[in-house]
Amino acid sequence: MQTLTSRWSNVGKVMQLGLEGVAGATLFALMLLTTADVVGRYFFNAPILGTVELTQQMLAAVVFLSLPVACWREEHISVDLLDAVFPSRFIWLRQLVVNLVVALALWVIAGRVWSLGERAFAWGDVTEFLRIPNGYLIYLIALMLFLSALLTLGRAIGYLLEGVGVVERGGPVSPTKPDTDKQQGDTHD
């Protein structure tokens, strides 16, 4: 059982490093582009043409390259209004349902975005100044949404396996909780 858990952990780490690396490189390129544009504009009166378009494209890429990692880590913005009254033995069921709903929503959105990418290529949709085809970015967004949906579905399956006792609680899909007995024991020393 441990080897399955460690394999998924390794897959998650590789995926995370790859996507975060590309997103980080894109963000760095965005910073360099903005710096060069500002220096060129104010010191040499020569701005870089198409900076706005490139900035928009790179910003969208950074956001959607980061989405699968956020889904895998479950780092979404959440409101915990009912956490205090929700029975702890059913947290796995709640997380299962939430992750299934999110995975379904991401899959539907990804399908719609993919069709927008097909339409962008069919119509020859390009950016205004640099004439960059918009379809490539739209396909990237759709692929990242599909990947996010699959990873969220994986989280849902992990919660299901924990809930029925196939995977031990405290595994990679369990939220980490401090050990209250150890904390109480430490305060009495």
pLDDT (average), residues 141-156 = 95
pLDDT exceeds 50 at position 161:
yes
**How far, in Å, CA of 149 to CA of 169, rounded?**
23
Task: Kindly report, residue by residue over 90-114, the tens digit of the pLDDT.
Answer: 888 888 999 999 999 999 999 999 9
The residue with greater pLDDT, 20 or 60, is 60
75 phi, psi to nearest 5 deg: -100, 30
Q: Please, what is the end-to-end C-alpha distance for the chain in angstroms?
A: 37
Do the beta carbons of residue 137 and residue 119 sit within 8 Å?
A: no
Task: Kindly report, residue by residue over 27-75, the tens digit of the pLDDT.
Answer: 999 999 999 999 999 999 999 999 999 999 999 999 999 999 999 888 8
The residue among 33, 26, 67 whose CA lies nearest residue 50 is 33
Q: What is the model's pLDDT at position 75?
A: 83
State if pTM tops 0.75.
yes
Q: What is the model's pLDDT at position 84?
A: 80
The encoded tokens of residue 76 equal 């979404």
The pLDDT mean for the chain works out to: 84
The encoded tokens of residue 39 equal 């220096």
